[in-house]
Amino acid sequence: MATEPAADTSTAEVRDAYAGRAEEYISLFGSVDDAHELDRALVSRWAERVDGPVLDAGCGPGQWTDHLMRLGHDVEGVDLVPAFVARARDRFPEVPFRVASFDDLGVPDASLDGILAWYSLIHLAPARVPAALDEFARCIRPGGSLLLGFFDGARVEPFPHKVVTAYFWPPSAMAERLEAAGFTVEEVHTRTDPGVRPHAAMIARRTDAETASVLG
């Protein structure tokens, strides 16, 4: 009985915290040119291998969604924060954006070839991450791909992010959650730059039912 209100409060806190700092966030991170060159290269390389519809899950102000559109993808951006969605629509009118959460991304089963979740799970309490990954797995067709970015750490633990509490994840722990949700991890990337938190990214392939039964 006590778990669900805490989850709801956490979602509201994340939404409200980013809504209050939306313009500041956009000024700092609102362009793909603000991203690390290795991140731009990884997202672009991943996108080259995705053929069908793509969802930018947790799109923020839409910079990566627009980047994927410019690479030729049929892409939509969704975010929990209405202020981000409104600004994304203003900034990139050719790209569709809407409000949605990881509880329900609002797309049919197995309808996507790829999901980009670029640092969008970092504020989820660890106990809620498996459900979000299950929702990703529901939406991605067998053989489709997920690109996930997050903060690397020695253990799963919270840290005081500038906006609202976020969590470190060891890549090995995130890989376990991905595999439990029906993905096969294909690539793991880590990066540590002076003066900033360690970063990690994973590319995971949606396992088809036949393969999953064999592995199980």
Whether 209 shows a pLDDT value over 70: the answer reads no
pLDDT tens figures, 191-202: 998 878 999 999
> What global pTM score does this model have?
0.88
Look at strands 166-169 and 157-159 and give their pairing: antiparallel
- Are 102 and 124 in contact by the 8 Å Cβ rule? The answer is yes
Note the pLDDT tens digit of each residue in 3-38. 233 333 478 888 877 777 777 777 777 678 888 999
Contact by Cβ (8 Å): 76, 56: yes
Q: How far is CA 151 from CA 36, 70, 75, 98, 104, in A?
A: 14, 27, 25, 26, 24
- Exposed / middle / buried, residue 28 (Cβ in 10 Å: 0-12, 13-18, 19+): exposed
The domain total for the chain is 1
Residue 112, strand partner residues:
140
126-146: average pLDDT? 98
The CATH number of the domain where 45 resides is what? 3.40.50.150
Tell me the per-residue pLDDT of 139-188, one tens digit each, with 9 for 90 and over: 999 999 999 999 999 999 999 888 888 999 999 999 999 999 999 999 99
74-100 pLDDT per residue, tens: 999 999 999 999 999 999 999 999 999
Give residue 118's domain range. 3-215
Shortest CA distance to 48 belongs to which of 25, 28, 68? 68
Check: CB of residue 162 under 8 Å from CB of residue 117: no
